[in-house]
Structure 1
Amino acid sequence: MALIDIKNLNFKYAGNDEQTLSNISLSIESGEFVVICGASGCGKTTLLNLLKPTLAPNGKKEGDIFFLDKPLENHDERQIASDIGFVMQNPDSQIVTDKVWHELVFGLENIGVPSNIMKRRVGEMASFFGIQHLFRKKTSELSGGQKQLVNLASVLVMQPKLLVLDEPTSQLDPIAAAEFIQTLHKLNTELGITIVIVEHRLEDVFPLADKVVIMNDGKVIMADHPRNIGETIQNYPEATAMIHGLPSAVRIFNGLKQVGSCPLTVRDGKDYLREHYTPLEVSNTVPIEPTNEKVIIDIKDVCFKYERDMPDILYKLNLRINEGEVFSVLGGNGVGKSTLLSVISGQRRAYKGKVMIRDKSIKKYKNNELYKHNLAFLPQNPQTVFLKSTVEEDYEEISKVIGYSKEEMKKLINDTLNRLGISHLAKKHPYDLSGGEQQKAALGKILLLQPSIILLDEPTKGMDAFSKKGFSDILKEMKKQHITILMVTHDIEFAAENSDRCGLFFDRNIISIDETTEFFASNTFYTTASNRIARDFYPKAITVEQVIAEAKQSERRYVQSDEK
C-alpha cells in the first residue's frame, strides 16, 4: 500500500486561468526517499503544499490525493498535523517562538501531548540531533544551519510518517547543507521515515533517492531511480534542460560516451574516469584572463560590530576589487559575509577603517550620488526590494526614480524582462512568485538601475539550473561592459564557473584570495564536486565542462598511443 497516492491531480490558483499542476499521478511508497526537481515555477512547491492541508493554497483542485489509502481531506486534522511534517525553505518563516526549547515543545503542546511524554520526546530528539547545547538559546541567536536543524527537530518530535521539505538547504553553506542532507538520510534509513524533498542543489541529495521526479510546466516528465534518470534523461526533450542541474558525476557521464553504468557520487565519478580515461600530465584548462587592474572598491582595515559591547563581525578587513572583475566571497553561515556587503553599500557604517569607491570614501558621497548609475545592492531576501503590487509596477517605480522618459522606461523594462525570461511574470504580485522567480525579478530591478558596481548576496538562491545558465550569460555581458561584481554565495559551482577571483571568509576577515582555478583546486571542502572527481586525473579542472574537455583530450592521446 502506497503512503501517498496522487491520481490525476490538477490545480489552478484562484483568479488564475492557467493550470499550475496538470494531470499529476504519482505514487510514494512507505519508507521511500523521493526527490522532486524542475525549473522554478514548474509547480513543485504547489504540489508539496497540497500534501499538507493547513498549507494548501486557495484555488480549484481536481483529482485525488490519498494518504494511507484514504482521501487526504477525510483524515482527522489533529492526526494529520502529527503524521505529515513540513520543513520550509526559509528557516525564519517556520520559527514561531523565542527559545529553542519552546520551539521543540510548541507542536506537542498544541495537540495535547501529556507533559511526561512531551519531555521525553524533546530530550530524545535533542540528543539525536546533538543540539543539547542549543536547548536554552534564543532562536534569534542561531545560525541558518542551526535554525533549520531546530525546525527539523521540532517537526520530527511529532513523530510524522511523512516528512516533506521545500528546498531546506537553499540558505545553508555547502558544509551545513551536506550535513543536513546526511541527517535526512539517517532519518530515512534508521527510522524508516518517508521523505519527499524539493531541491535545486542535487549534488548531495540525488544519489540518496529511491526515486527522482522531474517536473516541467506543471507536469511530471520523469519518475525513476536516479541512475536510470541519469542514463535516459537525454531521451526526454522536455527534461533535458535539467541535465545542467544534475550532480557533476551524472553530467560528466552525459557529456562523454555514456558507457556502462551512470555514476552518481564523487566516488562513482572517480571510478568512472579511472576505468575509461587516463590522467593528463599537463592540464589543458585555460585560465581566466586577468581583468583591468584599476581598483574600483578598496576596503582598508575595516572593523564593524553591531553594538558597542558585542564582538567584532569584521576586524581589520582589507579587500581590493578591480574594475570589471567578478569576485566571489565564500564561507560558512553567520560569519559576516552579508554584513560586509551592507558596510560596502553604506547601509551600515564601520567604526574603524575606510571603504573607498572609485578612490572616494563612501562617507563623502551625497544625495544618493553613491547609488545613481553607480552602486547597487541585491540583498539575500529578494522580497525586501519589492514595494508595489506587480513586478511591472515595481520596475516602473524604479525607472521614475532614475528619471527615464516614458519611452525609455518602457523599452528598458521590456528588455530587462526578456533578458531574464520573466515577461510572463510582469503582471503578477512579487510575493506570488516562487523563490527562484522572485530572485530573478529582484535582479531585474537592480539591472534597471544600470549600475557600474553590483553587490550580490546569494543571487542564485532558489534558482534552477537553466536560470543559473541565463544569469551566467548576463554576468558575461556585464563583464564586457566593465561592470564590477562582488558576490557572496554558497553556490560553489556557480562561483567556479563565473568568478575571476575568490576568497574565503573566516575569522572576521577574507583569507586565501586567489585566482578561481587555483582557489578551488587547492581546497578540500570548499571546492566543486567536479574537482573532487577529477583532481587525481586533471588537477586544474574545476567545472564539469573542463573535466569533459580534458577527458576527451586524454582519450585521444590514449588512442594515439595505442595506434603507435
Structure 2
Amino acid sequence: MAGLCNALEVRDLSFAYPGTDGGETDWVLRHVGLAVPEGAFCLLVGPTGCGKTTLLRLAKPELAPVGRREGSISLFGEPLDRIAADPRESARTVGYVFQSPEGQIVCDSVWREMAFGLESLCVPRDTMRRRVAETCDFLGMGPWFRRECSELSGGQRQVLALASVLAMRPRLLLLDEPTSMLDPVAERNFASLLFRVNRELGVTVVVATHDPRPLVDYADMAVSMEGGALREVSPDALRDEPDLAEGPLPAVTLGATQVQASDAWFRYGRDDDWVLRGLDLSVSGGETRAIVGGNGSGKTTLLSLVAGVGRPQRGRVRNWLRGSQVLLPQNPKALLSQQSVLEELMEWSRNVGYGRDEAVDALDKMGMGEELLPRHPYDLSGGQQQLLAYAKLALAHPALMLLDEPTKGLDLAARRSLARALREERGRGTTVLLSTHDLAFVRAVADSVTLLFDGQEACTQATGEYFAQSWL
C-alpha cells in the first residue's frame, strides 16, 4: 500500500443550497471531513435528506449542485477545481452512477449507450472498441449487448449504467443508492459486481445507501452522516434487519371488489414478449394489497393498466375507483413540477380544498420540516423527493392509491413514517395497491400479498400466511 494517497479527501466542507429568495438555506453539510484511501470500498450511510447525495455530487464536477461551498475537495491529491477544468481528466478520475438508471441512460440500445460517453470525449475508434469489449466482457453483458435498452430488466439497466461509466476507466467510482430499485437477487448480483470492480480493477468505490446490508460483506470502511456531519462506523454494525411494524394491523371490514384483472395479456410491442400472460387479480375496497416479484415480472405494468395508462391486448382490467385515484411512479420527479416544496404541496389545493397548514402537516408526517418549504424539489435527495411526492398525492384524499416501489431510496426512519401513513390510510378505508421489493415494508402494511412470476399470479395469500409459507 506504500505510495498510495487518498482517492477522495474532503476537508472542512460546508454547503448550502440557494433559497427561493436568493439567500442561502440552512447548511446541508457542516465542516465535513472525509478521507477514503485509494482502493477502498466505502459505504456512506445516514438518514434520508442528511446530505449523502449532495456530498457525492460535489465530488463530481459536472454534477456539483449550485450553492454556497466552503472547504476543499481533492481527488488523488489533486484539487477538484483543477480536475474540473478538463472534462477528459474528470472522466478518467471520477465516475458517477445515479440512483435511477433511467436518469442516466440516454441511448436506445446497449451498444450505443456504451459508446456514447467515449464518443463525447473523442476517444479514438480502436480504443473505444477495446474499452467497450473489455467492459462488457468483465460484467457479463455479452448475451444482451445488442438489445434495446427498453427491453432490459431493472438489474440489467443498472449494470448498463455502471458499465457505461466504467468504460471511461475512472479511478474513483461514486454510486448513489444503486440497488434501491432492484429485487433481492439482482441486488446481490450487482453488489458482487461492485466488489469485483473494486478488487480486480483496483477502482475505489464509494456507495451512498439507505440499506447497507447487501454491501456490508464487501466494504472495508463505513461512515455515517447525521446533521450534516460525518462519523466513522464499523461495517459490522450495519447488518441489523429493520423492523417496521408498530404492532399488528387492526381488523378492518373489506368492501366489494374495486380492482379486477381477468385473463389480462399485455406486451409493449407487437413483436415483444408478453409482460402479462393471462393475469387474474381481485382487490377489495379498503384492502392494502402488496404485489411482489422479481424485476421484469410485470408489477409496474400491472399498476399502469389499473391506472388506465395502458390497456391489455387481451382480457380485461377494471377499476371502479378510477375517478378518485393517484399513482406514485418509480421516478417521483414525474410528479414534481413546481419551483419550491411549498408550491408543490399547494398545487392542487384549490381543486381539492385544503390549506397551507394541512400541506405542512402532510410534510411533517413524512418526517420533513418546514425548513424545506422554500427549497426547489430537485435540490432534495432522492428519498426526500419520494416522500414529497407521496405527501402531495395523499393531500388529494384519493379512494385508491397505486404506489410503485414507494420505499425506494428511503432510510429506516422514512420507511417507518411511510408505513405509519399507509396504516392511517387503511384506517380511513382507502384501497391501496403497491408494488415493492421491500418485504419488511410488506409485513408492516399489507393485508395480503400477490406474487407475480412470468406475468402471472403465482399465489395470493394473507400476509401472515404468505410469509409463514415462504422460504425466501
Tell me, yes or no, whether TM beats 0.5: yes
Partner in structure 2 of residue 188 of structure 1 = 198
SS at match of 1:46: helix
Distance 1:288 1:449 in 2: 24
Contact 1:94 1:151 in 2 (8 A): yes
Q: How far off its partner does 1:106 sit?
A: 2.8
Matched, 1:12 2:16: yes
Q: How far off its partner does 1:338 sit?
A: 1.2
Matched, 1:305 2:267: yes
Contact 1:287 1:517 in 2 (8 A): no
Distance 1:115 1:55 in 2: 27
Deviates more, 1:433-442 or 1:291-300: 291-300
Partner in structure 1 of residue 233 of structure 2 = 224
Q: How far off its partner does 1:293 sit?
A: 4.4
Q: How far off its partner does 1:28 sit?
A: 0.7
Distance 1:352 1:169 in 2: 34
Unaligned runs of 5+ in 2: none
Partner in structure 2 of residue 61 of structure 1 = 69
Contact 2:252 2:427 in 1 (8 A): no
Aligned with 2:351 (options 401, 407, 418): 401
Q: How far off its partner does 1:8 sit?
A: 0.8
Aligned with 1:330 (options 292, 308, 315): 292
Partner in structure 1 of residue 48 of structure 2 = 40
Could you list the per-position Cα deviations for residues 106-137 of structure 1 after superposition, in whole angstroms to 9, with x for gaps in the alignment? 33334444333332222121111111122222
Contact 2:249 2:445 in 1 (8 A): no
SS at match of 2:308: coil
Could you list the per-position Cα deviations for residues 127-165 of structure 1 after superposition, in whole angstroms to 9, with x for gaps in the alignment? 111111222222233222212111211221222211111
Deviates more, 1:420-429 or 1:376-385: 420-429
Distance 2:367 2:248 in 1: 30
Q: How far off its partner does 1:380 sit?
A: 1.8
Q: Which has the higher contact order (CA 8 A, sep 6+)?
A: 2
Percentage of pairs with the same residue: 39
Could you list the per-position Cα deviations for residues 539-559 of structure 1 after superposition, in whole angstroms to 9, with x for gaps in the alignment? xxxxxxxxxxxxxxxxxxxxx
Q: How far off its partner does 1:458 sit?
A: 0.9
Matched, 1:342 2:304: yes
Could you list the per-position Cα deviations for residues 227-269 of structure 1 after superposition, in whole angstroms to 9, with x for gaps in the alignment? 3xx2xxxxxxxxxxxxxxx4335x69xxxxxxxxxxxxxxxxx
Q: How many residues align?
A: 457
Matched, 1:51 2:54: no
Distance 1:101 1:376 in 2: 37
Distance 1:118 1:308 in 2: 34
Contact 2:17 2:379 in 1 (8 A): no
Matched, 1:470 2:417: yes
Partner in structure 1 of residue 365 of structure 2 = 419
Distance 2:126 2:312 in 1: 50
Aligned with 1:380 (options 319, 327, 330): 330
Q: 1:13-32 maps to which residues of 2 (within 5 A)?
A: 13-14=17-18, 15=22, 16-32=24-40
Contact 1:501 1:514 in 2 (8 A): yes
Deviating above 6 A after TM superposition, structure 1's stretches of 4 or more consecutive aligned residues are: none
Distance 2:403 2:25 in 1: 35
Distance 1:174 1:219 in 2: 31
Contact 1:376 1:453 in 2 (8 A): yes
Aligned with 1:509 (options 448, 456, 460): 456
Contact 1:292 1:322 in 2 (8 A): no
Partner in structure 1 of residue 6 of structure 2 = 2
Q: How far off its partner does 1:199 sit?
A: 0.8
Q: How far off its partner does 1:506 sit?
A: 1.1
Q: How far off its partner does 1:225 sit?
A: 2.7
Distance 1:437 1:101 in 2: 34
Q: 1:46 to 1:352 in 2, by over 3 A?
A: same
Who wins on radius of gyration, i.e. which is larger? Answer: 1
Matched, 1:70 2:78: yes
Instruction: Look up the equivalent residue of 1:484 and give its one-letter code.
Output: T
Contact 1:291 1:322 in 2 (8 A): no
Distance 2:271 2:362 in 1: 45
Q: How far off its partner does 1:183 sit?
A: 0.6
Q: How far off its partner does 1:287 sit?
A: 7.6
Which is richer in helix? 1
Q: How far off its partner does 1:511 sit?
A: 1.4
Matched, 1:115 2:125: yes
Q: 1:61 to 1:389 in 2, by over 3 A?
A: closer
SS at match of 2:57: helix
Contact 1:291 1:323 in 2 (8 A): no
Instruction: Look up the equivalent residue of 1:409 and give its one-letter code.
Output: G
Distance 1:215 1:2 in 2: 20
Q: 1:111 to 1:494 in 2, by over 3 A?
A: same
Q: 1:311 to 1:3 in 2, by over 3 A?
A: closer
Q: 1:90 to 1:158 in 2, by over 3 A?
A: same
SS at match of 1:248: coil
